[in-house]
Structures are given as structure tokens and as C-alpha cells.
């Protein structure tokens, strides 16, 4: 066992031997090793957020035909470090009317819940936090904890807009949880395991080729779970001032910001682990470092799509958002689940090789996507639209030429 073939095990071994040398029993040394590993992984994740914030600001700047941050360091890359130093010296307050315990606990819980997901994600062939046999269930369970944090923020702020944001968050998150969990059933079905490592190792053919529609639905619903545009109704500034985090200031607000960026990167990580083959690629079994590079490349690609989509799509209305999950995603996902289960079992009994099975399932997914798309489009086209053109609208300055009827405006 050398450092390059198994860095995780090598360092753990080295640490246990080091601690045994100064007379610490193996059990306690193991626990210390765990604590150090957890600290390194979560600190690494938190520091990585600084880079993500810079990346997203830069990219959204480019989309909006601006330069983005460009003053501090090459391409402004140190801008978020300066921002972090500044926000550490900013005063934060607890409003008098607030419910102190949920108000102060909520930023901690929101960030903590996102970091917890990283405990079971395999980063390379031998590099992972823990090889948990119910890893996927753990991710689903812990992922919902952050929403608890948003609810606590809304309720604890003692503020009507924050409370409205929290209510919307609760409705949105429980609704999008249904198709998300259903779409995760398909990788579990194909690999026969809830273990994240087994799911990655089983992907000789990426699961996105077995179930592109499930991967797509998982991607969409994950964005909704994070509460990013176009699903950012919890912080719709045109309706709710700032949403659930109005009353927060200083680093307490900064924590929500960190949680948002880290969560969006974490869901990109989950999409690439569960559907895009994780660390797998040519030569990744021999070298964990190479596997890690593959994983980061795949994750960056997914994260890139999330950022571009945030920059380009307008926000949903709340009834559209609820309709989308309950009347489109959930039925489509249930039908896809039934069809995949039936077809995959029949093909496995007929003895088809994996690439043929994946091809047939791929076609099934695409057909289902087009059928669903046609049905939804047809329904939207038939829906009666209220005619607003003939209505008299109150205007602030009736004598203004541009607001007069017949002026073509």
C-alpha cells in the first residue's frame, strides 16, 4: 500500500501507528483519525465554496455582458477571499422579536446539513469518508435537514415575509422530494445496492445511458431542493423582499450564502456520482488521483449547466411550480419506474447483454420524454387564457402619450 494507490488508507495507517507510538490505544486512535478526516473533508468543502462563488459571479457576469470580479489577483480570483474577510468583521444582530433558538440554530443547521452529505460520497476509488451500506438513504435523509433550517429561519425571524418564504420552502421541498426519491430508485434497481461505492463500481455503462429521463428529473428536482433559480421562490425578491433570510445579517446571512453555493455543487456531485459514473474513467482504478480529476471534471460540467440555467431562466410562479412537480414529474417518474422495472426484468431473463439493455432503455426514456412533452404542450395550448388587452388599466399619468389607448403601447 503506497500513498498514490490508496492515499486514504495510507494516511489512516500512518496516523494510527504514530498515535500507537505515543501510547494511545487503537480504538481511540481510530476515532481521532475519523475526526481529523471529517475535519479535513468539511473544511475542504467550505473553502472550496470561495472558489465556487468567484466562478459563479464571473460566469453570470459574462452571461450578462459584464466583466465580473476582475480587480483582486488574476481574473479577480481572490475577490471572494476578500469578501469573506470583510463579512467576518461585520456586525450581526438578533432581532428583539425573534425566537432566539431557531433563529440562531438555523444558519448552522443549513450549512451543516449540506456538509454532512459529503461523508458518504466516493471521491475516488479508495478515497471516501465512509463506506456506508445505506449511503443513498443517508443522503436523502440528511438532504432534507437543510430544509428544516430554512423553516426554522422563517419561523424564528418573527416576520411575515420570512414566514411566507419558509411556507413556500416547505411546500416546494416536500413536493419535489417525491420525484427526486423516485428517480433515485432506478440506479438502486440497476445496481442492487444503496451503497454509493457499489453504485459507482457497478457503472460499467453510465446510468445516464440506462435512464436519461430519470437523470434529467433528478437534476431538475435537485435544483428545486436547493431552491435555486428558476425555483427560488423562497427568496423571490420581487414578492417577499428577500425571503426567509430577511432578518439575517453579517456572517449569519453569509452562512445561508455558503450553504446555497455548496449545496449546488453537492447536487452536481451527486448527479455525477449516481448517473455519470462518478470517478470512473480510463485508468482511474489504478490511480485515485486520476479518478478524482475525472469526478471533478464531470461535476464541473453539471455545475456549469446549473449556473448557465440560473443565468438564463426566469422564475416560476408558485402554482406553476406545484403543477410541474405533481402533474408532470411525479406521474412521468412513476410510469418510467414501472416501464423500466418491467422491461429490464424481461430483458435480463431473455439474456441480453448490458449495452443492448441500456440501448433499449435509452430509447424508452427518450420516447417517454417526447410523449410527456407533447401531452403537456397540448394541454397548455388548450388552456383558456384570459384576454387582458381590452381592459382599462389605471395609470399614474393619464396625459402621458405612451399610456394613451391607440398609441400602440
Site for other proteins in 71-110 (CB under 8 A): 87-98, 107-109
Cis peptide before 230 (omega within 30 of 0): yes
Q: Is the Cβ of residue 55 or residue 87 nearer to other proteins in the bound state?
A: 87
Q: Is the Cβ of residue 59 or residue 322 nearer to other proteins in the bound state?
A: 322
* Interface of this chain with other proteins, residues 40 to 59, rule: CB under 8 A: 41-43, 46
The secondary element (H helix, E strand) that includes residue 127 is: none
| Residue 167 contacts other proteins per CB under 8 A | yes
Would residue 283 be called left, alpha or beta, if left means φ above 0 and alpha means ψ between -120 and 50 degrees? left
| Of the residues 3, 192, 373, 404, which one makes contact with other proteins according to CB under 8 A | 192
* Interface of this chain with other proteins, residues 312 to 371, rule: CB under 8 A: 318-319, 322-323, 326-327, 330-331, 334-335, 337-338, 341-342, 345-346, 348-349
Please report the DSSP string for 79-111 in residue order: HHHHHHHHHHTS-----TTS-HHHHHHHHHHHH
Q: Smallest distance from the beta carbon of 375 to other proteins, in angstroms?
A: 14
| Of the residues 185, 305, 352, 360, which one makes contact with other proteins according to CB under 8 A | 185
Q: Smallest distance from the beta carbon of 399 to other proteins, in angstroms?
A: 31
* Contacts with other proteins, 200-239, as mask; x by CB under 8 A: ----------------------------------------
Terminal alpha carbon distance of the chain: 75
CA angle 66, 261, 98 (to 5 degrees): 110
Helix axes 288-312, 250-274, angle to 10 degrees: 120
Q: How far is CA 176 from CA 36, 117, 328, 329, in A?
A: 35, 18, 11, 9
The residue with cell 402554482 is 319
Q: Is the Cβ of residue 31 or residue 289 nearer to other proteins in the bound state?
A: 31
* Interface of this chain with other proteins, residues 244 to 263, rule: CB under 8 A: 246-247, 250-252, 255, 258
| Residue 175 contacts other proteins per CB under 8 A | yes
Whole-angstrom Cα distance, residue 134 to residue 151? 27
Choices 8-16, 171-179, 359-367, 382-390; region in contact with other proteins by CB under 8 A: 171-179
Q: Smallest distance from the beta carbon of 380 to other proteins, in angstroms?
A: 16
Q: Is the Cβ of residue 81 or residue 335 nearer to other proteins in the bound state?
A: 335
Cell matching residue 129: 469518508
Q: Smallest distance from the beta carbon of 175 to other proteins, in angstroms?
A: 6
State the CB neighbour count (10 A cutoff) for residue 94: 15
The secondary element (H helix, E strand) that includes residue 183 is: helix 160-191
* Interface of this chain with other proteins, residues 118 to 137, rule: CB under 8 A: 119, 129-133, 137
By CB under 8 A, how many residues form the interface with other proteins? 87
| Residue 70 contacts other proteins per CB under 8 A | no
Q: Is the Cβ of residue 90 or residue 377 nearer to other proteins in the bound state?
A: 90
Handedness of CA 276, 213, 236, 112 (dihedral sign): negative
Whole-angstrom Cα distance, residue 202 to residue 193? 9
Q: Smallest distance from the beta carbon of 408 to other proteins, in angstroms?
A: 36
Q: Smallest distance from the beta carbon of 109 to other proteins, in angstroms?
A: 7
Q: Is the Cβ of residue 43 or residue 400 nearer to other proteins in the bound state?
A: 43
Answer whether 205's CB lies under 8 Å from 190's CB.
no
* Interface of this chain with other proteins, residues 367 to 396, rule: CB under 8 A: none
| Of the residues 55, 125, 153, 182, which one makes contact with other proteins according to CB under 8 A | 182
Please report the DSSP string for 260-283 in residue order: HHHHHHHHHHHHHHHTS-TT-STT
| Of the residues 1, 18, 31, 289, which one makes contact with other proteins according to CB under 8 A | 31
Handedness of CA 92, 93, 98, 100 (dihedral sign): positive
Amino acid at each position: 500500500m503506497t500513498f498514490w494507490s490508496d492515499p486514504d488508507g495510507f494516511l489512516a495507517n500512518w496516523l494510527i501507528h504514530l498515535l500507537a507510538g505515543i501510547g494511545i490505544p487503537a480504538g481511540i486512535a481510530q476515532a481521532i483519525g475519523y475526526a481529523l478526516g471529517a475535519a479535513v473533508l468539511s473544511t475542504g468543502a467550505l473553502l472550496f465554496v470561495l472558489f465556487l462563488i468567484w466562478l459563479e459571479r464571473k460566469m453570470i457576469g459574462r452571461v450578462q455582458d459584464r466583466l465580473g470580479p476582475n480587480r483582486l489577483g488574476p481574473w479577480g480570483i481572490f475577490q471572494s477571499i476578500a469578501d469573506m474577510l470583510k463579512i467576518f468583521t461585520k456586525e450581526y444582530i438578533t432581532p428583539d422579536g425573534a425566537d432566539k433558538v431557531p433563529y440562531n440554530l438555523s444558519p448552522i443547521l443549513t450549512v451543516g446539513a449540506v456538509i454532512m452529505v459529503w461523508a458518504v460520497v466516493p471521491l475516488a476509488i479508495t478515497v471516501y469518508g465512509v463506506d456506508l451500506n445505506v449511503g443513498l438513504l443517508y443522503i436523502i435523509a440528511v438532504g432534507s435537514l437543510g430544509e428544516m433550517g430554512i423553516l426554522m429561519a422563517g419561523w424564528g425571524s418573527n416576520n411575515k415575509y420570512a414566514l411566507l418564504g419558509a411556507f413556500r420552502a416547505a411546500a416546494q421541498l416536500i413536493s419535489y422530494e417525491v420525484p427526486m426519491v423516485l428517480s433515485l430508485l432506478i440506479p438502486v434497481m440497476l445496481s442492487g445496492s444503496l451503497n454509493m461505492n457499489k453504485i459507482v463500481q457497478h457503472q460499467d455503462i453510465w446510468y445516464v445511458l440506462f435512464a436519461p429521463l430519470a437523470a434529467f428529473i433528478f437534476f431538475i428536482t435537485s435544483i428545486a431542493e436547493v431552491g435555486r433559480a428558476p425555483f427560488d421562490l423562497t427568496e423571490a425578491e420581487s414578492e417577499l423582499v428577500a425571503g426567509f433570510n430577511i432578518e439575517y445579517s453579517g456572517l449569519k446571512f453569509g452562512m445561508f450564502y455558503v450553504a446555497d453555493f455548496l449545496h449546488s455543487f453537492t447536487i452536481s456531485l451527486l448527479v455525477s456520482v449516481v448517473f455519470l459514473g462518478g470517478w470512473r474513467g480510463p485508468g482511474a482504478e489504478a490511480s485515485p488521483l486520476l479518478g478524482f480529476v475525472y469526478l471533478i471534471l464531470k461535476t464541473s460540467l453539471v455545475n456549469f449547466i446549473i449556473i448557465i440555467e440560473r443565468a438564463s431562466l426566469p422564475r416560476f410562479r408558485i402554482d406553476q411550480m406545484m403543477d410541474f412537480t405533481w402533474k408532470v414529474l411525479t406521474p412521468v417518474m412513476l410510469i418510467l419506474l414501472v416501464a423500466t422495472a418491467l422491461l429490464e426484468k424481461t430483458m435480463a431473463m431473455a439474456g441480453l447483454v448490458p449495452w443492448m439493455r441500456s440501448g433499449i432503455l435509452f430509447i424508452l426514456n427518450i420516447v417517454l420524454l417526447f410523449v410527456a412533452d407533447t401531452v403537456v404542450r397540448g394541454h397548455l395550448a388548450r388552456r383558456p387564457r384570459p384576454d387582458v388587452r381590452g381592459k382599462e388599466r389605471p395609470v399614474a399619468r393619464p396625459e402621458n402619450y405612451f399610456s394613451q389607448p391607440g398609441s400602440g403601447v
